[in-house]
Amino acid sequence: MSDSPASRLELLRFLERVQVGDLERTRGWIAAEEQRLAAEAARLPPAPPPDWELELDLSRRPSVVHVGGCTMGGKGFRTRSLTRDAALRALGVDRIPACPYCSPDTALGVLD
């Protein structure tokens, strides 16, 4: 091919077709991986909630103790799982308030 403008344009159009094909192939791989991950997630049962949870405030300080799975508690990064002993300590020694909706103090048998 000569170095004429028309042949240069043909080369650029060819390059475009190759890149579009690569992009379509990559998008197909992404879609297949998304489907595989969704199918895998559907097969796995959800993890059970912990028995006790500690809600953190926006400063990441302990704010409320909950029974595991309480819907009034913080979500995601704002909760920490607790063992029974840690929940008892949080309520008794650390004086962190109990959730008024799920009443972990009652469930733990803590008396005021």
- For residue range 54-87, list pLDDT tens digits in order: 999 988 899 999 998 888 877 777 889 999 999 9
Per-residue confidence band for 2, with pLDDT thresholds at 50, 70 and 90? low
pLDDT of residue 78: 86
Contact 52, 87 (CB under 8 A): yes
pLDDT of residue 75: 76
List C-alpha distances in Å: 54 to 36, 89, 102.
34, 11, 13
**Statement: residue 31 has pLDDT above 70:** yes
pLDDT of residue 19: 98
pTM of the entire structure?
Answer: 0.58
